[in-house]
Amino acid sequence: MHREIQRAEEAGLLTTRKAGNTRLVRANTASPYYAGLAEVLARAFGVPAVLAAALTDIEGTAAAYIYGSRAVGREGQAGPRPVGDIDVLVLGDPDRDQLYEALSTAEKRLGRSGEATIRAPGWLEAGSGAFHDTVTSRPLLRIDLLPR
């Protein structure tokens, strides 16, 4: 691990500093490669990828979206850095036990709690009310459910 960290630091991808006997490592956000690498890693291992894998096999799920601060940040809009839970909108009539078990598994992997809201399949187009207005007025990040 030490050798790989050193190579990444020499390439300008990471920065390190010593704190006692500990070597602290973080991404070099000033690197010209940072944005591209961050996007690749987020697509492969980030919240949308983990949720897609977790929600794919849940019968009755027509579609799923991330909304709230996580969706805003992924769409490149200015907003607070997402630090709280992950808001997931599930459209359809999923088996709730399967859904909550899948979210629990995803939460453990991501280190963040998830909050699922279930609505009918056509709710985005035909829904009403304050919650609908709030959700549809902000970015939604569609979770690409893998083919069954």
Whole-prediction pTM: 0.71
pLDDT digit string, tens, across residues 70-121: 776 554 444 455 557 889 999 999 999 999 999 999 999 888 888 999 999 9
pLDDT digit string, tens, across residues 14-40: 999 999 999 999 999 999 999 888 888
User: Residue-wise over 123-136: b if at least 16 C-beta within 10 A, else e?
Assistant: bbeeeeeeeeeebe
pLDDT digit string, tens, across residues 38-61: 888 877 778 888 999 999 989 999
SS3 at position 109: helix
| pLDDT attached to residue 128 | 94
Q: Which domains does the chain carry?
A: 2-34 (no CATH), 46-142 (3.30.460.10)
Q: How many CB atoms lie within 10 A of CB 3?
A: 7
